[in-house]
Chain A
Amino acid sequence: MTTRWSRKDLLGLRELSAEEINFILETTDAFKQVGTREIKKVPALRGKTLVNFFVEPSTRTRTSFELAAFRLSADVINISATTSSLTKGETLKDTARNLEALHADVLVLRHSSAGAPQFLGNRLKASVINAGDGAHEHPTQALLDLYTIREKRGKIAGLHVVIIGDILFSRVARSNIFGLVKLGARVTLVGPSTLVPREFEKLGVEVSHKIDDVLPNADVVNLLRIQHERQREEYFPGIDEYTRFFGLTKERAKLLKPDCLIMHPGPINRGVEIDSEVADGLQSVILDQVTNGLAVRMAVLYLCGGIATT
């Protein structure tokens, strides 16, 4: 492969080419290997300072980035919404400028507003990594999903990937759609019409509201959590109703092909979007996703944080 990496920011998958996405996935192979060494730490970002700036709560993404940074020998500061001056009325830009005055080299940002990472990436010398912005994009989650599919099935092009659940409010779904379509997968979105509107077809995917019709020809199912925190109105009658029509129950899982992968970005609502037996079953790669998430984030931090930014 002759492509080289030259971006300082990772804002979303929409702006990346298929070659750039594949470049990150190949780099991830190298960093996944580091996790199997006797010393699981490399000096790639030694002397660099990484700021985990999480304006929205998150445990798994933040700790994954933190461990990734440790394994690259970077120094890490964690700032959350409750401990930052954002609660005292400081603007996002001022907070970030203060971080840069401390010579932070990489800013990992989670924010409730779509576009916040781009706003900062355009203004700061530091690398900005989007760790989820509103209902817009969550690029590292989609990259780890792509990596897991490629690892388990050996390819992505030509596979039928079914994303089920709260698509409307899901940045995970959006980033996955951009990545999967660019790499040549067939994508079907499934959920109630209020959460999976037909407008999504414009992104090059299919939309279905009947899960039982779609499951038998899926190669991968990716289940999304119902985002209670983002729903201001009632989009479906109730949780029981959702499980009855769209949950991956034990019975419904029997419709799947034996080699179909079951994925979930976590945290799982057991008994809501997925039954416990299915989440812990042989087809589930949910914990592989967690392991691969660490390697993907090491690769992204190495690439964006490792290039000259002058």
Chain B
Amino acid sequence: MGNHAISFREVRKTYPDGTTAVDDLTLDVPEGSLTVFVGPSGCGKTTSLRMINRMVEPTAGTVEVNGQDVSTVPEAQLRRSMGYVMQASGLLPHRTVVENISTVPRLLGQSKRAARERAEELLETIGLDRGLGGRYPSQLSGGQQQRVGVARALAADPPVLLMDEPFSAVDPVVRADLQRELLDLKQRLNKTIVFVTHDMDEAVLLGDRVAVFARGGRLAQYASPEKILREPADQFVSDFVGRDRGFRALSFDTHDIPLSGVLTVDGQGHTAEVGGPAGVTDWVLEVNSAGQPVGWVTSTQSAEITDQAHRVGGSLHHPGGSLRSALDAALSSPSGLAVAVDDDGRLLGVLRPQDVLEAIDKVRESRQ
């Protein structure tokens, strides 16, 4: 880091009808970082992104990539030097998956064979079966299309990746997968990524740095996600981040929370205490033969467990995880006890809500 891969200098974009899309934007994107532009619709975040590859030309000011003013680089050449991923993937419908991924290398003059080999390699990088290479985009699911879109952007191995709301059109489960994979890719590939979204959760999850844009194209705050959640620069940022920001900010805190014991029962009806002596409660945690939690039952039911009897458990907490995950595990558990598991998903014990709150309190005190 240290170097700025992308710099906006007093950039302004006004349209002939007088609307201002971007108002005096000055911002540096550090090399190798994932920077998120977030804000409500019409805040200029996408316009700003598109000024990086000259899809939009600024009315005033300069945009520099690696110290070079982009307006001095021919458009097509500039765009081929950056990866671009858009909403709904934007794949060419008349080209197969492999041909789509090969697009930029082919435009750069690579041989068909070399581009194809690279494309097939990339299919694996992004977790798609090589057999999908001959399919057309309409034969893929939304999540697969989006993966191909990412592969296409990576094909020429560009140092900069521009992502324009890439995951907003897929369902939440697939989106979570794609987000995890992006973080993983970022670790492995060392790219400078600019990512546009209107979803604050996504911004906090992905961003090293988050730029919050306000309506009228004003940059309201540019800081680490933690700082934005804890110290919003103004009322707009505070409103945009939302009422849950206190809860979300717990994502950045960790603290040791003492484990408590819980009474467990397995499929054969054998009971045991895990994590220490069980407290006084009606709730018994059902575990499978591998010691992984299955769901909660009340002690009156435990004598004759049926599939229907147990209540689906809440989210699971891994010791060393954030206080947000601990509190959420407690709040979402039918028994009120947060279930703690190890990396293999085996039960370690439970966390009592009062212990979680105490940890939150201690962290807060230590910060003051």
* A and B associate in one complex: no
